Amino acid sequence: MVSKNKYERYLRQIKLKELGTSGQDKLMKSKVLMIGAGGLGCAALPYLAAAGIGQIGIVDFDIVELSNLQRQTLYSIEDVGKSKTLVAVQKLKRFNPEIQIDSHQLKLESHNALKIICNYDIVIDGSDNFSTRYMVNDACTLLNKPLVYGSVLRFEGQVSVFNYCDQQGKSPVDYRDLFPAPPSAESVPDCAEAGVLGVLPGIIGALQVNECIKIITGIGQTLCNSILTYNCLSNQFYEFSIQPNKNKSQSAPSTEHEFVNFNYNWFCGTEFYQNEIAVEDFKSYINNKKFKIIDVREKEELPLITEFPHEQLSLKKIEEWSQNFSKEDTIILFCKSGKRSQTALRILTDKIPEMKLYSLKGGIEAWKNYSLQNENVE
Amino acid sequence: MEIIVLFFGHLTDITGESKLKIWDTKDTNELINLMSKKYPGINDMKYSIAINKVIIHENCILKDADVVALLPAFSGG
């Protein structure tokens, strides 16, 4: 049964004098994007729909698995194998036919993120990996959208509000003010490895919607400039205040063009190789004076390279030497196999993000093989 | 002087405890060095540091009864 008037199903919250019909109107006019329809998404989405958020977008590319059902309560046994986004949209439409629900059944990546996010007023992050979290954060910073952050592991959750300020005289902060650089991929277990208590994303996702409602209606105090942690074993909540971080990494993209070209998988260490030059192409660079070629192997390492001009600067020294480079430099790094040159590339990118850096794919071994084969052909 | 250190998230995998008392530590750099010696695995972890519930971004002097929290990033959703 559809309500007789547009406020009927929301009467209990309209009754709250802080909210009233004017608050309800704001909710009905708002557009919220939920990134991820996993544990956090399944907790947040029903409450967003229940509150009467006018337009809800759901981004997820994944399908429902049996092991999701322990915490992802939007899905039933018959949904296993189906698209999470499609099932969630279907259920929420039945639950509240008066609102618009958009399905974005895709993997959010830097080439599509801005186009999707720009259509919404607020973003809720319920993703499950650091690449997406840094990407969503940077997209929201560029587009100036409030981001309601939530994250869970085992028995502990974190909630915060980024790119938003409800107190005068304070500057908004974002994820990079709290965690300027991502942890190495192997140092943090994910929920698949470490586990998560099913009810925890329920609590954290509900807290995210609570922040979202306060931002839209302007009531209460949000978690902007602070992060709330909750431990469901000890029942302890801690709230930490966050100040803008002057030391935060300069590597964050500052334009839409930089954003689209930013490799978040590489930045977060889930993809090792970046900016590789194949040996076939390397040949055309070796006598070009615009390119500085650097051998990052140790001084005594063989084979010796005499066929092209280069400098020798071992990986161990590259960090202290980085101050001698300028952002106008274009550098090709090489080593034995192409691995250390990637590590050097990562170090230099962090020090001088504007510098153009490349690494010889397969290293000097690949170059020698290639040269040998070509000699034979000739 | 006595300082309380709180470990959050998966840092407790390394420390084995969520709370620790330390004495006579002049600043947060000294505290980090102390933690690195006591729990070598912590060097591989990235975490934010808070003193009395304020996240800090550089070395800070510690005083008696300060509560220092080490807060790691995790990404589960």
Strands A276-277 and A356-360, sheet pairing: parallel
B59 touches chain A (CB under 8 A): no
- pLDDT of amino acid B14: 93
pLDDT at A49 over 60: yes
Q: Tell me the pLDDT tens digit for each residue of A180-200.
A: 989 987 788 877 788 999 999
Instruction: List, by residue number, the catalytic residues of A.
Output: 191, 335
Q: Tell me the pLDDT tens digit for each residue of A217-268.
A: 999 999 999 999 999 999 999 999 999 998 776 779 999 999 999 989 988 8
B48 touches chain A (CB under 8 A): yes
Chain B positions in Cβ-Cβ contact with residue A133 (cut-off 8 Å): 75
Domain spans of chain B, in order of start:
2-72
Domain architecture of chain A: domains with CATH: 8-241 (3.40.50.720), 272-377 (3.40.250.10)
Distance from CA of A265 to the nearest CA of B (A): 14
Q: Tell me the pLDDT tens digit for each residue of A62-79.
A: 999 999 999 999 999 999
Q: Is A141 or A275 the better-scoring residue by pLDDT?
A: A141
Q: Are B38 and B30 in contact (CB under 8 A)?
A: no
Local structure of B54: helix, strand or coil: strand
Structure tokens at A32: 């919220």
Chain A positions in Cβ-Cβ contact with residue B9 (cut-off 8 Å): 153-154, 156
B15 touches chain A (CB under 8 A): no
Distance from CA of B51 to the nearest CA of A (A): 9
Region at A110 (left for phi over 0; alpha for psi -120 to 50; beta for the rest) = alpha
- pLDDT of amino acid B44: 86
Chains A, B: CB pairs < 8 Å:
96
Q: Is A155 or A248 the better-scoring residue by pLDDT?
A: A155
Residue A140 buriedness (CB in 10 A; 0-12 / 13-18 / 19+): buried
The whole-number average pLDDT for the span A11-40 is 98
- pLDDT of amino acid A99: 97
A247 touches chain B (CB under 8 A): yes
- pLDDT of amino acid A77: 97
Chain A positions in Cβ-Cβ contact with residue B55 (cut-off 8 Å): 178, 227, 240-243
The whole-number average pLDDT for the span A312-338 is 87
Architecture of the domain spanning B2-72: Roll (3.10)
Lowest mean pLDDT among A37-41, A54-58, A167-171: A167-171
ipTM of the complex: 0.96
Q: Tell me the pLDDT tens digit for each residue of A305-317.
A: 888 889 899 988 8
A202 touches chain B (CB under 8 A): no
Helix (H) or strand (E) run with residue B5 in it: strand B2-7
* Cα–Cα distance for residue pair A19/A187, rounded to 1 Å: 44
Mean of per-residue pLDDT scores for chain A: 92
Which one of A35, A84, A156 makes the best mutation probe of the B interface by having the most chain B beta carbons within 10 Å?
Answer: A156
Residue numbers in chain B where pLDDT is lower than 50: none
Q: Tell me the longest C-alpha to C-alpha distance in chain B.
A: 40
B67 touches chain A (CB under 8 A): no
Distance from CA of B13 to the nearest CA of A (A): 11
pLDDT tier at A270, thresholds 50, 70, 90 = confident
User: Residue A322 contacts by C-beta under 8 Å, 6 or more apart in sequence?
Assistant: A347, A348, A351, A352
Q: Tell me the pLDDT tens digit for each residue of A108-121.
A: 999 999 999 999 99
DSSP one-letter code for A182: P
